[in-house]
Structure 1
Amino acid sequence: MLDNFPRGTICIEELEIGMSRHIVKEVTDRDIELFAEVSTDRNPVHLDDEFAKDTIFEGRIAHGMLSAGLISAVIGEQLPGHGTIYMGQQLTFLAPVRPGDVVRAEVTVMDIDHAKRRVTLKTVCLVDGKPVLKGEAKVLAPSAKLD
């Protein structure tokens, strides 16, 4: 990964609307193979060049949830970070990610409910500055205060 923020936790008391974090990762053939193994999604559009060239994508593509996993990495490692609990994620896939593409996964704070420790996050993945995935996540953020 390149051009990433440090890992850790930003407690809800320190979060601000508009705060943003990201990671950047090149999606490799190995990433796609490992994701297929872990998820058991062996759709040939991800793994077989001959099959994939005859699809609407005209070549192999990465699993959409592999890109979504990069958003999860930003949420779980940076914003809010360690101790964050996912409550929900809405996703829209806009374009394929291909082996060799460099994906920038960004998360931005949109709303904070301090009383319930709930945070709404804008989520997006970009390749060459163009969105390939967008959505919204709801999470339970860690707190510096003891409950």
Structure 2
Amino acid sequence: MLDNMPRGTICIEDIEIGMKRSLTKVVTDLDIELFAQVSTDHNPVHLDDDYARDTIFEGRIAHGMLTAGLISAVIGEQLPGHGTVYLGQNLRFMAPVRPGDMVEAVVEVQSIDPAKRRVTMATHCSVDGKVVLKGEATVLAPSRKFD
């Protein structure tokens, strides 16, 4: 279940430094299985309880890029929203996400280049208040001038 802010579009003309949006989602076994199918990443640390128990994680974990995908959802659905084009994203994985974890993905506007329609945002995901992933995204925001 997703707990979302309203979806839509915030055009470059209306974006302000400090704007923030987020979503929360429980990562399920099905999410992990479907991500493995779509990505073709069938690493047993994600899919096999017995195998994963003997790793440094001591149990199954979600794919890091599945967690990162939640940032993409906030950017593509909320801030800036529909019509946004991803230009870049850097990520640092800080801790694992496990099946059943409630992940909060947050983006916050750090800088704006209105002439180029570029927005740079701090991004992070957390579980129970602990940051599990952090980074920075640069996007091309939609504009009313190009509608």
Smaller-chain TM-score range? over 0.9
Aligned partner of 2:15 in structure 1 is: 15
Amino acid corresponding to residue 75 of structure 1 in structure 2: I
Aligned partner of 1:42 in structure 2 is: 42
Secondary structure of 1:139 counterpart: strand
Give the Cα separation in 2 of the matches to 1:70 and 1:77: 10
Q: Once the two structures are aligned, what percentage of the paired residues are identical?
A: 76
Aligned partner of 2:97 in structure 1 is: 97
- 1:50 deviates by 0.2
Aligned partner of 1:25 in structure 2 is: 25
Give the Cα separation in 2 of the matches to 1:36 and 1:55: 19
Give the Cα separation in 2 of the matches to 1:146 and 1:6: 23
Secondary structure of 1:59 counterpart: coil
Give the Cα separation in 2 of the matches to 1:146 and 1:41: 38
Give the Cα separation in 1 of the matches to 2:3 and 2:76: 17
- 1:145 deviates by 1.4
Give the Cα separation in 1 of the matches to 2:2 and 2:146: 35
Deviations 1:30-66 (A, max 9, x none): 0000000000000000000000000000000000000
Q: State the superposition RMSD in angstroms.
A: 0.9
Give the Cα separation in 2 of the matches to 1:134 and 1:143: 27
- 1:3 deviates by 3.0
- How many residues are aligned here? 147
Aligned partner of 2:61 in structure 1 is: 61
Aligned partner of 2:80 in structure 1 is: 80
Unaligned segments of structure 2, at least 5 residues: none
- 1:9 deviates by 0.2
TM-score, normalised relative to structure 1: 0.98
Unaligned segments of structure 1, at least 5 residues: none
Deviations 1:77-133 (A, max 9, x none): 000000000000000000000000000000000000000000001000000011000
Hey, which bits of structure 1, 4+ residues long, moved more than 6 A?
none
Give the Cα separation in 2 of the matches to 1:6 and 1:34: 26
Give the Cα separation in 1 of the matches to 2:50 and 2:9: 44
